[in-house]
Structures are given as C-alpha cells and as structure tokens.
Chains A and B, each alone.
Chain A
C-alpha cells in the first residue's frame, strides 16, 4: 500500500513571454526574419529573461488512495501542474511516473458539443477520456441517474443551464474508473446539494483506492476533503504535508505584509486572472466616512471599495468580494447583484462601487479579501486574490468589550420572550 502511485521528480515548465503572440501570422514571421537579417550581429541570443518559469523543480510523491489538495495563489503554478499531470502539455524538464490511468476534470463541459444531446455527449466525453464504448454502455444508467437530469438527457446540451453542464461533466468523470482523478474547482458552479453529492463521491473514490488531486481556492473544502496538501508558491513547492498544517502555512504567508499590496493598488505585474474586458484598478478598505483604515472595532461598520475600469461598450459587470479568515475559510461571499441591479460599463469608463459590511458581523481576527468582477454567465474578467488584509479588534474603543463568544461570525439577532 505504501508504493508511490505518482512520482513527480523535479519538473519545471517554462513559457517564453509573448510566445503566443510572436509570429502569429506568416507575415509577422516573414517581417521578423527579414528584420533579423538586417540586424545580423544580434545573432540568436536566447534571451533568458524572456523565460517565465511557471513551475520550477517541483517534486513530490503520492500514494494510492490519497486525496491531495493543491493550494496556492493564482499564478502559483497549480493549473500548469495539473496540465502536466494530465499530459495536456509537456514539462520543460524533469520526469513524472504515474502508475495507472488518469482522469481529469479540468473544466466544465470540456469536450461537450452543444449540438449533441446529453446522452451523445456522455459517449463522446467518455471516449475522449479513454473509456471504451462497452464500459460506457455498462455504466450509462448509473451516470444518467447521478446527473439527476434524466429528463433532459436527449436534449441538445446547448439548451442546458450551467448547472446541468456541471452535473453532466462530473458524472462522466466520476464513473470513469481511472486510478487517478484530477479535479480543478469545477465544483464552484452548481447548486449546494449537487456539490455535496460530488464531495461524497470523491470521498468514495478515495475509499475505493483511487488517488484524487484536488485544486481549489476553498480552504474549507481542502481541509474537509484532503488529508494531505501541497502549497505552491511562484512555481515551487513551498510546503507539503498534513492539510491542516499546510493551510495554516498558506494563510500565514498570505497574511504577511510583503505579500499583500496593502495600498490597495493592484500592480500590473501581479499575477491574476485577467481579460481585456474590464479590470479592477484598485481596492480599498475604509470606514463609512471614507477614511482608509486597516483596523476596525467589532462594533464598527466598514466598506470595501472597488475601482473598476471597463474596456468595452455596454459591458455587464458584476463585482464581487470574498472575505477569508486567517484559516483560509471563506467567511463571506458577496455579489453585486445580491442587492442591486447589474452595472453597465462603457468603453474607458471608471466605476466605483462599495460593499458595506455591517457591524457586529465579523468576529475579532485577521481577514483578507479577494475582489473580482465577472460578466454574464460568470465569465471572470478580473480576479485578484488576497489583495488586502484588515483586522477586527476586540478593542475597548467603543467602551464595550468583546465577550469572547465562539463562532465564525456573529450577528445580534433578535430575542424575545414567547
């Protein structure tokens, strides 16, 4: 049982900056070659500084039936690692040995064709993932039952909702009998009941001896699902071990000042999810009177202000804020549409919005926030993780002292004698 099922030995992956942009058309190639001829002296100088190492000397071993969480900020190399393990892309250096088949669940609806029905897509997706038709035939009923959408199974998936997509995606991968399963945050979409079902299924998989590698930003889920975790930072393995311990390290790292751009200005070099539709220019935490602060009293309200720039005309923008506690649990998720209409952005327009957090809600402690914006259908436009931190103190400022009650949050709900 102690034999390693995955052995990752010093793998590195480099990308050349602008590699995707260079020579995208023949014309570019021709003009580049031509100007290359004119500047002969600059002959082939392999510019090392153009190389970005997405992964650098990553090594670890996993055993059978381990469920392992991979955590780290955006751009830490988590996705690249999954891509290498699932053989989508090759490492630049190093070697991985894997005993068994690998199934991957990297994105919702991968390989689904919108015109095909749910049933046809199950076959299609199964085949792409390496299942034989006989294998799928045998499990088809179980798969369909798991999706809970048997009524729509003969409807083209272009008419499906995003939740139905997730159900179909997960069901196919879950019934794929591979020894190793790679899961990348697909559980983020979909309703709670189905998420629970998927989590239960992942637990079962581990009990059946399957190794699950789970990438997530949700520390609560990682702690719940995984006994082991790997913390990636800037393409390197920062720590590896018991998940509770590693999450603690990760959060400590996140909370240290140097990692938080506490000015609230988002540096352009900071790695984050970003598209050219709209972006978050800055974020700040302030008291209701507009004074910027990092230290609040538990009895004080505060607000998170987000400054957004839209690059397109008539763009629907939905800002959001995540608040994490020092254990990395998400304490609060708030979307702009919770209480207001959507924001429409115009080309070049700046939009400022604020989330107001009521007093008596957050317990004393250190918190970090992530802010982001997405468009319709939850397409992420921009997302900066852990960009600001603040502290809720149990101070005496207001004259009253915090009573030390337990709980993640607190709220002065009404009591009455009945």
Chain B
C-alpha cells in the first residue's frame, strides 16, 4: 500500500474525436527530445570524412551558388548589401525551415521500430527535429556573423529581435512537418511530395533574392507566406534591410494556425499510428 496512493493512475480508454494534447506528458518525457536529437546528430556525421564541417559546407555552397545566379547573372537588386550576405542570410533561414519540414515529415517512418514497440508521446518524434535543426542554424548563423565581420557590415540593434523570427519559422515549419508526419504514416507518398514542395516554395519565397525584386501587384501573395515574413525579419535583424511590421501580425497568425492545427491533427491520428505504420 505504501506507494500506491502516491502513484499516478493511468487510464487506458479509446479516445474519441479531437483528443486533448496532453502537454503535461510531453513535459514528463522532455529528456527524450534531447536524446532523440542527440541520437540524430551523432548518427548523422558517423562514418563521414568531413564530419561536422558539413554543417558549414552546405550553407557556404548555397551562398555562393545563389549569389552567382541571382546577384551576378540575373543582377537582382541588393539594397547596397554584398549579395553573398543576402543569399547566406536567406539560406540559413531556409535550411532551418526545410530541415524541420523534411525531418519531421519523415521522422515517423525512420522511427517505425520505436513507434510500434514502445509507448511515449509520439509528438516528440517530429518535434525533436527542431532541436537538431536549431544546432545547424546556430552554426550557420555564426558563419554569417563572421562573413559580415569580414565584409565590414556592422551588426546593429535589430539583432535583439532575432528570436521572434526564429520562433516564427519554427512554428510554420514544425506545423507543416506535423501535418506531413501524420499523413506519412498512412500515405508514403508524403516522402516523395515533400522535396518538390520544398523546392517550389524555395523559389516562391525571397530566399535568394530580396522582397524588393517582387512586382508590386504580386506582393500581397508573398505576404501570405509566413516564411517570407520571417526571412525578411531575419535580414532586418542581421543586415538592417528595411522591413515592415504590419504584415508580420498576419503572418504570425497564419503560422500559429498551421502549427496548432498540425498539433491537433497529429494528435487525432496518433492512436492509429501503431496499428497502421
């Protein structure tokens, strides 16, 4: 009897409809976020010759390629900032976005053995990808700051707003990732569609060019894309390129809707995962 009263009672019942999120459970398993991310990071660079330096090589390559294509060949406007900084700042934000969407979208299938054998809140699987992506983001951001230092572009006050934009990208990307993850359990097509989706969105988002290159009449369409706002904001925070707060409210709202709906949709399908994965 000694401990029974203190023990938490677990009730197993069929859940119906839109289950509540059980966020307290995520908190109980908080260390699993860390361990899953740690596992992915450790495994990713095992048996690679260049190891962790891949985290630097990727953004550097993209920076040069896009700067060459958009800055040198197509001669897009650059607001007086070296074009490599425009592409690098865009790239680090975009890589963060696409890694979360891709990673979360495929996370259920790469962790099939865990999901079909052990109980834990399934939300942790796609969400732990954020931690891993954040590490790459930090490494790439340091690279950006070094580049800015080298090209004598000073950091200014707006940098303190950087966290807001990171949160924004995190919300959109993990929201999309959660939708993809939940659907991927049943339809393996998701793994095939995601790369196209990300590639198309790459060109429709001002990653390798500035918003000022977009014709005025299409601008409103761009503003509906929450990633646009986040990347603009990020460029403002790092490089001081002008940015308007007005649209950010709408974009933040869209981000939150995508994220919260993703959470609930995932949670609704969660109970069927072990049966059909």
The interface of chain A, by Cβ under 8 A from chain B, is 1, 3, 5, 11, 15, 19-20, 23-26, 29, 64, 83-102, 104, 106-107, 110-111, 113, 115-116, 120, 123-124, 127-130, 132-133, 179
Contact = CB atoms under 8 A, between A and B. Distances in A.
A95 B15 CA distance: 11
B35 A88 contact: no
A409 to B, nearest CB: 37
B12 A5 contact: no
B127 to A, nearest CB: 15
Contacts of A99: 4, 7-10
Contacts of B12: 11, 84-85, 87, 90-91, 95-98
B187 A29 contact: yes
B118 A86 contact: yes
Nearest to A4: B4
A111 B124 CA distance: 14
Instruction: Name the residue among B11, B118, B271 with the largest chain A CB count within 10 angstroms.
Output: B118
21 contacts: A3-B1, A19-B275, A25-B187, A26-B189, A88-B115, A89-B274, A91-B12, A96-B13, A97-B10, A97-B12, A100-B3, A100-B7, A100-B10, A104-B118, A110-B114, A115-B43, A116-B39, A116-B43, A127-B31, A127-B35, A127-B36
Given A91-B13, A127-B32, A24 B187 contact: yes
Nearest to A106: B117
A182 to B, nearest CB: 10
Contacts of B120: 128, 130
Contacts of A89: 271, 274-275
Contact of B113 (A64, A85, A110): A110
- Ranked 3 nearest A-B pairs via Cβ: A87-B119, A96-B12, A127-B35
Contacts of B115: 88
A113 B7 contact: no
B42 interface: yes
A33 to B, nearest CB: 13
B212 interface: no
Nearest to B275: A89
B1 A86 contact: no
A130 B46 CA distance: 27
Interface of B: 1, 3-4, 7-15, 28-29, 31-32, 34-36, 39, 42-43, 46-47, 113-120, 186-189, 271, 274-276
Contacts of A106: 117-118
Contacts of A86: 118-119
Contact of A97 (B11, B15, B113): B11
A209 to B, nearest CB: 8
Contact of B31 (A64, A91, A102, A133): A133
Contacts of B3: 100, 179
Nearest to A89: B274
B117 A130 contact: no
Contacts of A98: 9-12
A98 to B, nearest CB: 4
A166 to B, nearest CB: 15
A128 B118 contact: yes
Nearest to B117: A110
Nearest to B183: A26
Contacts of A104: 117-119
Contacts of B46: 115
B30 to A, nearest CB: 9
Contact of B9 (A24, A93, A97, A116): A97
B10 A116 contact: no
A179 B9 CA distance: 12
Nearest to A127: B35
Nearest to A85: B12
Contacts of A123: 35
Contact of A113 (B1, B32, B43, B186): B43
Given A83-B274, A90-B13, A96-B11, 17 more contacts: A20-B275, A23-B187, A25-B187, A64-B4, A88-B115, A91-B12, A91-B14, A93-B14, A98-B10, A100-B4, A106-B117, A124-B35, A127-B32, A128-B32, A128-B118, A129-B118, A132-B31
A23 B117 contact: no
Contacts of B275: 15, 19-20, 89
A191 to B, nearest CB: 24
B14 A130 contact: no
A102 B119 CA distance: 9
Contacts of B187: 23-26, 29
B118 A113 contact: no
B42 A116 contact: yes
B182 to A, nearest CB: 14
Nearest to B115: A88
B31 A88 contact: no
B39 A124 contact: yes
Given A3-B1, A25-B188, A88 B119 contact: yes
Contacts of A179: 3, 7
A183 B12 CA distance: 19
